[in-house]
A and B are shown apart, each in its own frame.
Chain A
Amino acid sequence: MFANLKLSSIRRSWDTAIILLLALVLIFASATTGTFLTSTNIFYIFSNTSEIMIIAFAMTFLIILGEIDLSVASILALSSSMLGYSYVRGVPIWGAILICLATGTICGFINGYLVTKLGLGSLAVTIGALALYRGIANGLLGENTVNEFPSAATDFGLKSIGSTFMPRTLPLILLFGIFFALLLHRTPFGRRTLAIGQSPEAAKFAGVDVVKHKLIVFTFTGFMSGVAGMVYTFRFSTAQADNGVGLELLVISAILLGGVSIFGGIGTIWGVVAGVLLAGSVESWLTLQEIEAKWRTIVTGILLLISVAAPVLVQKSKARRERMALKKSG
């Protein structure tokens, strides 16, 4: 019975811990910085984490599957560049948005195809894709930037809903959040995602088409990176080839911080949401404290290490619990 308590508390404890940690950071930050809990700052926290959150929703599925996509920031840049490129060549904005989303989807599909059908490792494939997509974006726009977009689009990226703390992008993010939370936690698709991550072999014996499943997840991760590309473009009113450089690391560390196991099979969307907001809040507090960029980088680095170490520690205490259970069953 003790072992029961222990396991569920470990699983629950990580989700709880991350939410508690988020609360602690918020309390500490607002106590030390008068401007932290202002609606302007909250607006910026939400706004600055938009792309990370959007990509993280999808990438959570990939990491749970035991795969990874390091090219998401490059996909963001390429789809952003396609948006700008096509818009300045006379494509109406909605058409340019469709092109942007299609670009992301196709990139994701290509990654998935190479990984699943050719059986290549996702780390290797997406490192290659990271360079490739960024390179194509460079070829497309070069040093140029596109920053003439219709005001409706840039308002969507820049403004808040009325005079609240909520950016206009928030409803979109919320919608995606609800969709992906339901997808992971309430549908057969989500169950199969977790199952594949826990044991690809058992999933095969359970009649899950592992290849097809992975291909779908890679593809929608590409699509979501395209969505992030659109949001990024409108938020900065800029389409250019070096948009979102290094963003993939922020996405991955936020996901791991949110309790998703780097070994696959374990993870929740609410954990990931807390992870993204936690990273965003720390970043915001450091900025308000006018802490130099190099220190901010160090803190981000520490957070990343914590997020990688934490699941391993959970794993270890799980192993301890297993030994306990073994002892018990004697």
Chain B
Amino acid sequence: MAAKGDLLLEMSGVQKRFGGAVALRGTGLKIRAGEIHALLGENGAGKSTMLKILAGVHANDGGSIKLGGKDFVTGSPEASIDQGVAVIYQEPSLFLDLSLAENVFIGRQPKKGVVIDWKFAQSEAAKLFKELGVELDPKRQARGLSIADQQVVEIAKALSMNANIILMDEPTAALSASEVSRLMTVMRSLKSANKAVIFVSHRLDEVFAISDFITVMRDGATVSENPVEKTNLQKVIKEMVGRELNEMFPKTKNKVGEVVLDVHDLTNPAYFRNISFTVKKGEIVALAGLVGSGRSEVARAIFGVDKYESGSVTLNGKDLPKGSPEDAMARKIALVPEDRRQQGLFMIAGVNRNISMESFNKLVDRGLINFKRERALTNTWRDKLSIKFANQADPVDRLSGGNQQKTVLAKWLATDPDLLIVDEPTRGIDVATKAEVHRLVNQAASEGKAVLMISSELPEVLGMADRIIVMREGRQVAELSREEATQEKIIAAATTGKRGA
């Protein structure tokens, strides 16, 4: 086994083309044993292509890849596994009805004679979980496991196949703060076992919290390779975007007007109880808290996608009927949902079809949709939000995550809402687009819309919100003004329910 600090993997001058498009133009990457290595870059920089070459999904066109001094065979996932490289995907694909031990040893069940030796499988799995510093019962079903724990099972599976290099593509994107810290523990365990971890993440605070080494990519090339102590957040962002982003959160001071949304004593016992707050014209109110604290459910109840048991929602002084998104829309509420692929967009439909979805009243002429107006509407919002696509009819699943998110925003902004609810508006999108989304949300507020924002990213909450409501386990535990809010106070409230720190 390699000793700590030994060079495990060296990629240099790696190239990859897809048809006419160049994805990698001579990229380098050096991975050492016992190292957590962050691979950073905006969407389209080539990070995923790099990971996919290592995972055997693609073969490289040029350049050299050496693993322990030998040529690394690319182009076959099986070969990658044999060479000790394993990938942990963002959405693990466990067999939910099987036990964790069965999942770890799926396809390679240890045998005693002709029968499967489950005792051995269970004890091996238990050992692996212990090494990873996570307590999981190998006999339990995978169903009901949090995403983070599912990832842990995948990691255990990789280790059982003697993986030395673990690749993780945005492992924390779908995790709550507590789950992230659990995953970090596991990553540190891997590190102390002299494995190498390569991970891609858009959450830069996490990157700096955990990684030893940072490689930044831009436009298919490596722009910098630094030990973490030799670089910093500003520098990395600058390298990623090729320019300085001085205004990550271009907060504007808006004139705050009358109350638009008044939520009173809202209760749905399964998710939240006694939630009361207001959002005023021109104001951005953030709902902070851990994933699963009931924030999204409150938003869904307001918009009417879900029903609630008691309490009331008042919009512009009039009661809003519960459980009716049609009524919510008619009363000028917009909800940009948490999961843009499942809830926000029709992935196989064109950009134009998606943007016009809520604006038929502006497009219909004598009962029929006027295609010219639809084109004009799409163009207007493409320009306003600088959404990038080749053709209006391109299905949105071909757009990058950032452009998809802008498309969802466009579709709702086109309805000119009085209340804009955005749920995790910047999840999984690159830094530059994040800043654009922040600008757009701020702009909506400055135009006099009331904005309710749900976010798990504390810098975003602190940078954007005028007021912050913290939820914990379905209850409202704190309300902080922009001036008094700090990361520490929010985390304290979200995790302990106590105000202040």
Contact = CB atoms under 8 A, between A and B. Distances in A.
Given A186-B368, A201-B342, A206 B48 contact: no
B24 interface: yes
A316 interface: no
Interface in B1-44: 16, 18-21, 23-24, 43-44
A8 B393 contact: yes
Nearest to B398: A325
Interface string B148-171: 000000000000000000000000
User: Which of A8, A188, A199, A207 neighbours the largest number of chain B CB atoms within 10 Å of its CB?
Assistant: A207
Interface in A173-212: 182, 186-188, 191, 194-195, 198-199, 201-209
Contact of B23 (A202, A204, A327): A327
A266 B47 CA distance: 34
Contacts of B329: 207
B345 A202 contact: yes
A322 B346 contact: no
Interface in B29-74: 43-44, 46-49, 52, 58
A327 B394 contact: no
A3 interface: yes
B391 A4 contact: yes
Given A194-B349, A324-B18, A204 B325 contact: yes
Contact of A329 (B19, B44, B328, B364): B44
Given A188-B360, A195-B349, A205 B325 contact: yes
B369 A187 contact: yes
A266 B48 CA distance: 31
Contacts of B58: 327
B397 interface: yes
A212 to B, nearest CB: 9
A330 interface: yes
Nearest to B325: A207
B305 interface: yes
Q: Is the interface of A mostly helix, strand, loop or mixed?
A: helix
B343 interface: yes
A322 B341 CA distance: 14
A198 B24 CA distance: 34
Contacts of B485: none
A188 B369 contact: yes
A204 B368 CA distance: 23
B400 interface: yes
Contact of B24 (A199, A266, A330): A330
Contact of A199 (B19, B220, B328, B347): B347
Nearest to B361: A188
B326 interface: yes
B357 interface: yes
Contacts of A204: 305, 325
Contacts of A293: none
B364 A188 contact: yes
B394 A198 contact: no
B49 A191 contact: no
B46 A330 contact: yes
B441 interface: no
B11 to A, nearest CB: 15
B392 to A, nearest CB: 11
Contacts of A117: none
Given A188-B360, A191-B357, A205 B44 contact: no
A330 B325 contact: no
B179 interface: no
B305 A205 contact: yes
B344 interface: yes
B62 to A, nearest CB: 15
Nearest to A190: B369
Nearest to A324: B18
B343 A205 contact: yes
Contacts of A182: 368
A1 interface: yes
Nearest to B390: A4
B44 to A, nearest CB: 6
Interface string A264-288: 0110000000000000000000000
Contacts of B52: 327, 330
B245 interface: no
B390 A1 contact: yes
B107 interface: no
A2 interface: yes
A7 B395 contact: yes
A328 interface: yes
B23 A330 contact: yes
A3 B20 CA distance: 11
Nearest to A326: B48
A191 B353 contact: yes
B323 to A, nearest CB: 11
A326 to B, nearest CB: 8
B459 to A, nearest CB: 26
Interface in B463-496: none
B144 interface: no
Contacts of B345: 199, 202
Nearest to B353: A191
19 contacts: A1-B20, A187-B364, A191-B356, A191-B360, A191-B369, A202-B342, A202-B344, A205-B344, A206-B358, A207-B326, A207-B329, A208-B325, A208-B326, A209-B326, A324-B19, A327-B58, A329-B44, A330-B23, A330-B46
Which 4 residue pairs across A and B have the least CB separation, nearest first?
A: A330-B49, A330-B23, A188-B360, A207-B325
Interface of A: 1-4, 7-8, 182, 186-188, 191, 194-195, 198-199, 201-209, 265-266, 322, 324-325, 327-330
Given A207-B329, A330-B52, 15 more contacts: A191-B353, A194-B349, A198-B349, A199-B345, A202-B346, A205-B325, A206-B358, A207-B358, A209-B326, A324-B18, A325-B398, A327-B52, A330-B16, A330-B18, A330-B46
